[in-house]
Amino acid sequence: MRVIPLTVTALAAALALTACDSGGSGTNSKNGSACEIGKVSVQVGPASVAPAAGDTGEVPVSLTNQSAPCTLDGFPGVTLKAGGTSATVPAQSGAKTGRLKLAKGDSATFSISYVRGKDGDKASLAATSLTVSLPGGDATQSFPWKYGAVAGKGGSAENPNATVSTFQQAGD
């Protein structure tokens, strides 16, 4: 008679383990979907502008969720543009990102740190606009860049001396 209780116990354990499998990974509807650029309001600045070539400036970017709960999972995408030149701004070295869930009305921020370049120097990117995208989406939103030229690394304007921080919860 001992065989039946062991079989039932083994079957129950197998069913319990199967029930724990979510069947996939990534952001799902239970945890909220990825935040979309068209469903959040985005504000750039006010900035701490680098006053002269070689100085460092910081441009805060704030976003507020205007829709259903969503998740920011990764770094923001930032591109600086000058005429026909586009330069992607990399994430801060050593920065780690986590998941940040935003309910409707919740806000988050990130910062763009940059080194001011010399105006008219071929090793500086004379940026005129900034494009922002959110992780998990292809949509972008553009804003004017009015903080001066951005120094290039290694003498290349297409490799800006700038970085993007992780998302941080804003507000209460």
Confidence of residue 28 (pLDDT cuts 50, 70, 90): very low
Contact 89/58 with Cβ under 8 angstroms?
Answer: no
What mean pLDDT value characterizes the chain? 82
Instruction: Express each pLDDT in 74-108 by its tens digit.
Output: 999 999 999 888 999 999 988 888 889 999 999 99
DSSP string, 99-118: EEEE-TT-EEEEEEEEEBPP
For residue 104, what are its two tokens?
A: 């409707």
**Confidence (pTM):** 0.77
- Round to whole Å and give the CA distance between 21 and 35: 25
32-170 under CATH 2.60.40.10, yes or no: yes
Contact 33/66 with Cβ under 8 angstroms?
Answer: no
Contact 25/19 with Cβ under 8 angstroms?
Answer: no
The pLDDT assigned to 4 comes to 44
The pLDDT assigned to 32 comes to 58
- Round to whole Å and give the CA distance between 142 and 96: 25
Instruction: Express each pLDDT in 2-19 by its tens digit.
Output: 444 433 333 333 333 333
User: CA 155, 83, 76: angle at the middle one, nearest 5?
Assistant: 75
